[in-house]
Structures are given as structure tokens and as C-alpha cells.
Amino acid sequence: MTSNNDESLNTSNLLYDKTVRCPVCDNEFKVRSVRTSSYRIDRKDSDFFIHYTRINPYFYDIWLCNSCGFAAMKSDFSSLRSSKKELILNTISKRWHPKDYPSVYNEKIAIERYKLSLINYTAINAESYKKAMNCLKIAWMYRLSGDIENENTYVKNALQGFNDAYYNEDFPMYGMDRFTVIYLIGELNRRIDNLDEALIWFGNVITSSMAQQKIKDLARTQRDLIKEIGQITPTENEENNTENKNTKKRFSFINPFKS
């Protein structure tokens, strides 16, 4: 037996089949699930992506009903409102062709499943924060694959969604409070080199009296990272860049945390 087979066999032991019921078509089916005792955290990235050893729970985050095509992140799957069922049946199910997946998933399969889920969120006109988180997770899967171009594309999509959610939707968002989301928007801006915008969002966390110390520390670290790189000088920032000035103006107008 090769080491690859060993690895696959071991991974398989960390998984089990969980029975769930589809909220759209009432079909009962099995989803691959990671045993909670199997999780081993290696490290966390600055945009909250968790690197795991042994097995990657993100690969199994999407539940997909093969009979009607409804797919969502597992935290949202069962809570689909009945008013949304018709939208799935009319837009997704009509065109759905069942898919076969192996018993152990990888980045490529995860990306495909996250994209199916995103199509579903779009079809039901889900909240922006849900679509944004879905996009962010796709970006993380591309990060794992070393595909920087696609990673950046989905970081940009996630950023657009979180921006919209920040102004229009309620907190918490997947357990993230307002300041965690502000930090995340800053960090996603930093990752796509919108450094001026990133500094503004980080600044909002750092100067707030309501943000938790932990998230303030994260914001400081990332702000210092931008400043250390020295890609922004006071001269460029204050004098030469009209676009930055406009951005600042726009944000200070809606900034509820400004001292």
C-alpha cells in the first residue's frame, strides 16, 4: 500500500456520514462530516482562515442535496425559509443534474461545492454577509491551492459583500460582531492592496472604545504591517492622491466611531 492510500484511509476514519433532510424537497440524504475530535488547528491567517492538520473541515462545509440541487454552508442549510423554496425549485432544481463525489474531498471539490452553494445563495437573494462569507471561503480554498489570481478575485467579491452588509445588515454575522467585521473589511482591503482604505477601517477599530482588546490588537498589527512596508508615505497620502482624499471624506461621513 502506498503512503497516499494510507493517507486517504486515515482521512476516511476522521469522517462519518450524517443524515440530514433537505428543506427544499424533503429528501433525506447523507453528508460527509468531520468528527469534531479530528480537528487539529495548525495556525490562523489574519483574515480568520484556519489552517488545519490531519483533515480540513472547510472541505465538508457545504451540504448538497443531490435530488434538487439545493446547497448551502452547513450552518445555513436547515434554516432555509419556506418562502425561498420556490426560488430554488424554479431556478436550481429545474436545471440540476445529480453529481457524484468521492468519499474524501480536496480543494478542487470544495471549490466546486462552494460555488454551487454561492449560486443557491444568489438564487434566493440571500443576505450579503452570507454571500460574502461564501466568497471568502472560496478565496481560502484558492489560497490552499496556490492560485493567487482566483484568490484575489474572490477576496474582492467577499469585500464587496461585507461592505454592503456592514451598512445594511444586522450583527452578528456568523458570530462576528461589528468590530470584527470592520477589522475583516480592513484586512481584505489590505490583501488586495487598497492600503488607504485598510488603514481607515483598522483605525476605526483601534480608536473605538467599544471594540474588544483582542480585535484592536489584530488591527494594530495589520496597520503596523502596512506602515512598516512603507508603501504609503504622508506626502502621497495627504497631498498627491485625490482619490484617497475622497475615500477618506466618504468614510468619515458615515463613520460612527470617529472621535
CB of 67 to Zn ion, least distance (A): 5
Number of H helices, E strands in the chain: 11, 6
Under the criterion CB under 5 A, does residue 176 sit at the interface with Zn ion? no
Q: Which residue has the cell 434554516?
A: 79
Residues 6+ apart with CB under 8 A from 33: 15, 16, 17, 18, 60
| Angle subtended at Cα 190 by Cα 188 and Cα 194, rounded to the nearest 5 degrees | 105
Give 64 or 104: the residue with its C-beta nearer to Zn ion: 64
Q: Of the two residues 24 and 226, which places its CB atom closer to Zn ion in the complex?
A: 24
Candidate segments 59-67, 154-162, 164-172, 234-242, binder of Zn ion by CB under 5 A: 59-67
Residues that bind Zn ion (rule: CB under 5 A) add up to a total of 8
Whether the CA torsion 4, 50, 113, 142 is positive or negative: it is negative
Confirm or reject binding of residue 20 to Zn ion (CB under 5 A).
Answer: no
Q: How far apart are CA 68 and CA 160, in angstroms?
A: 29
Candidates 14, 18, 27, 74: give the one binding Zn ion (CB under 5 A). Answer: 27
Least distance in angstroms from the C-beta of 112 to Zn ion: 18
Q: Would you count residue 124 as binding Zn ion (CB under 5 A)?
A: no
Q: How far is the CB of 64 from Zn ion (least distance, A)?
A: 9
Q: How far is the CB of 22 from Zn ion (least distance, A)?
A: 3
Q: Which of residues 60-79 bind Zn ion (CB under 5 A)?
A: 65, 67-68, 70
Q: Min. distance of Cβ 137 from Zn ion in angstroms? A: 22
Query: By C-alpha distance, which of 178, 173, 108 is closest to 146?
Result: 108
Residue 24 near Zn ion by CB under 5 A: yes
Q: Which is nearer to Zn ion, 121 or 129 (CB)?
A: 121
What stretch of H or E contains 77?
helix 74-77
Cβ nearer to Zn ion, comparing 27 with 150:
27
Residue closer to Zn ion (CB basis): 78 or 231: 78
Burial of 66 (0-12, 13-18, 19+ CB in 10 A): middle
To Zn ion, the closest distance from the beta carbon of 96 in angstroms equals 9
The tally of CA atoms less than 13 A away on the side-chain side of residue 247 is 15
Q: Exactly one of 15, 22, 138, 219 binds Zn ion (CB under 5 A); which one?
A: 22
Is 25 one of the binding residues for Zn ion (CB under 5 A)? yes
**Distance separating alpha carbons of residues 129 and 210, to the nearest angstrom:** 22
Vertex 47, ends 43 and 48: CA angle to 5°? Answer: 50
Binding site residues, Zn ion, CB under 5 A: 22, 24-25, 27, 65, 67-68, 70
